[in-house]
Copies of this chain bind each other. A is one copy, B any other.
């Protein structure tokens, strides 16, 4: 295993300490339990946005803490869910008195622990709503997930909800907004190579010299198919068409009913993309794929969107939700309306996403 690390046990802590040292104007680190939070938190009368999940996907989530995006990020060990005590302490630290939105990627451990954290927060009179991101069209049910996995749309939801919180949206409205982003967003990824977690020290999975995995998860979970290497254009087409032609997806999610004070089951259906829609196109590196290759993917994606009558009105190209040094990419298409576009354009100042300020 060749990595720029010291003791494998300390990778997450040392990396996040480095972040905090590099960006003291933006973030602070809290240890025992471990989370990153805005240096100017808590901000009174602003809904706080928290996310978190296993580490190894950097810059998500710690790199998105700051003005106009997250108030706190709770990192687990690499590819391992964070624990409820991290989420609870983060909630108490950034609580501005008007509630907290937890943006939760759909992995069983994350879902369970964020639910427990919400209950603990309620018992301390902090109002919390959890919204699930489950945008990966590749597979239904996976290694660590019931239903679709949460991937690229998470980054976009964090940006958009962070802007809404800045603009004074209340908790319930931000939760509805986050749900809308999730229902409007679809993603799919692929891997050219595996990755190696420091704890294991060897490849997470094996992939032949001429093989790629299409529909892979961000922890190397199996995708739709393992096929021989294809051209960038062919790969882009496989991902883009799967996303664009994905039909309505209906799932039942557990959400906290504020009025009843209990968990209820809610059925949600996302509308399929259709010709004439405006979209944000997000081409993401799995970590080890260089930017130059992402633009080759973007070039083909733009052509396909045009053929399908989708107008790309915003985009994001780079490494935002990664799997350590895995080579490969993911594509996310988020249907935009005027509200989402305005919130996307709003100023943001974090370690890894910044504009307008």
Residues of A within 8 A of B (CB): 2-6, 11-12, 14-19, 21-22, 55-56, 58-59, 63, 192-193, 209, 212, 229, 231-233, 235, 287-299, 302, 315, 317-319, 322, 324-325, 327-329, 351-352, 354-357
Chain B residues with CB below 8 A from A356, complex form: 357
A4-B297, A5-B296, A289-B325 given; name 17 further pairs at CB < 8 Å. Answer: A2-B229, A4-B289, A4-B294, A4-B296, A5-B293, A6-B232, A6-B233, A11-B296, A14-B232, A15-B296, A16-B295, A18-B295, A18-B296, A22-B295, A58-B292, A318-B352, A354-B354
The complex places the Cα of A352 from the Cα of B352 at a distance, in Å, of 11
Residues of B within 8 A of A232 (CB): 3-6, 14
Contact check, B11 vs A298: say whether CB atoms are below 8 A apart: no
Closest B residue to A320 using CB positions: B291
Residues of B within 8 A of A351 (CB): 317
Structural contact, A15 and B355, CB atoms closer than 8 A = no
Q: How many copies does the complex hold?
A: 2
User: Smallest CB-CB separation from A10: which chain B residue?
Assistant: B296
Knowing A291-B59, A354-B354, say if A2 contacts B327 (CB, 8 Å): yes
CA distance A356 to B15 in the complex (A): 27
Q: Are B298 and A21 in contact (CB under 8 A)?
A: yes
User: Can you report 30 A-B residue pairs in the complex whose CB atoms are below 8 A from each other?
Assistant: A3-B293, A4-B235, A4-B289, A4-B293, A4-B294, A5-B232, A11-B292, A11-B296, A12-B292, A15-B293, A15-B295, A16-B295, A18-B294, A18-B295, A18-B299, A18-B302, A19-B298, A21-B299, A22-B298, A22-B302, A55-B292, A56-B290, A56-B292, A59-B291, A63-B291, A288-B290, A288-B327, A290-B325, A291-B322, A356-B357
A59 CB contacts on chain B under 8 angstroms: 291
Chain B hits for A327, CB < 8 A: 2, 288, 325
- By the criterion CB–CB under 8 Å, are B287 and A287 in contact? no
